[in-house]
Structure 1
Amino acid sequence: MDIVFLIARILFALIFLLSAVGHVTQAKGMAQYATAKGAPGGEFGVIASGVLMGLGGLMVLLGVWGGLGALLIAAALIPVTFFMHAFWKESDAQAKQAEQISFNKNLGLIGGALALFLLFAVTGADMGLTITEPLIALG
């Protein structure tokens, strides 16, 4: 089962590692788009969210305080979800549907990150194929 969990971590982390690269390398363009959507923070906000996603993704991938990494991912996704995918603000039906799909996808990713946090925190050293034991232990 360790290998299945490792594959799941790789696939989950990959989304955020690739996104982090885009946030850092295309920060100016993404900041203009974020500002147009009403998100605060401008270029700093884009880079900060990219750093949270990248650091969290690496932590989950490598199993270095993976639970904390999952929480960093959730922390980055929450404001992004509500500012960037505010489907309730859209008047065009097609734009509204596209934003609602992205909003729902992000809700699922937040839920996955929280479930991953709980798995790291409860399973602890029995997790397998991790570099460190969890920083936060429950149960």
Structure 2
Amino acid sequence: MDILVLIGRILFSALFLGSAVGHLTQTKAMAGYASSKGVPQAFAATLVSGVVIAAGGLMVLLGIWADLGALLLAIFLVPTAILMHAFWKETDAQARQGEMVQFQKDIALAGAAIMLFALISFAGDELGLTITGPLFDIS
């Protein structure tokens, strides 16, 4: 089972690490987009969210307090879904559909991150192929 969880951690974290690179290397452009969506202090929010998803993604990938990393990703995903993909505000049908897909993707990933948090926190030190054990114990 350890190898399957490792493969899952690699596949799961790849999305967030790629996104973090974008947040941290194209901050001005991404902040402009966030600002157009009504995100307050968009430049700072883009930088902070980039750091959060980089940290969370690396923690999950490397197995360093991976439960905390998964929790950080969930905490990032829910507000992002609501603030950045508010499909209910769109008047154009095609734009509404696109935003709905992105909203649902973020919510589904948040659910997966919460499940990963629970799995790692519950498994404790029994989960192999990690650098550290979990930070939380929910057993």
Q: Is the pair's TM-score, using the shorter chain for normalization, greater than 0.5?
A: yes
Residue number in structure 1 paired with 2:118: 118
Matched, 1:90 2:93: no
1:44 is aligned to 44
Q: Which runs of 5+ in 1 are unaligned?
A: none
C-alpha displacement at 1:138, in angstroms? Answer: 0.9
Matched, 1:72 2:72: yes
- CA shift for structure 1 position 41: 2.3
1:132 aligns with 132
1:4 matched residue in structure 2:
4
**In 1, Cα distance between the equivalents of 2:46 and 2:75?**
13
Give the distance between the partners of 1:81 and 1:99, measured in 2 at CA.
9
Quote the offset at 1:39 in angstroms: 1.3
Secondary structure at 2:123 match in 1: helix
- Which whole-Å CA distance do the structure 2 matches of 1:26 and 1:132 have between them? 32
- 3-state SS of 2:120 partner: helix
Compute the displacement of 1:75 (Å).
Answer: 1.1
User: SS of the residue aligned with 1:39?
Assistant: coil
Equivalence for 2:54: 54
TM, length-normalised to structure 1: 0.98
Number of equivalenced pairs:
139
Cα RMSD after superposing both structures: 0.6
* Greater mean alpha carbon deviation, residues 39-48 or residues 49-58: 39-48
**More off after superposition, 75-84 vs 98-107:** 75-84
1:105 equivalenced with 2:101 (yes/no): no
User: Counterpart of 2:136 in 1: which secondary structure?
Assistant: coil
SS at match of 2:111: helix
Matched AA of 1:91 = T
SS in 2 for 1:120: helix
State the Cα deviation string for residues 9-38 of structure 1 (Å, max 9, x = none): 000001000000000000000101101011
User: Quick one: which amino acid aligns to residue 106 of structure 1?
Assistant: D
For 1:138 and 1:42, the matched residues in 2 are separated by 35
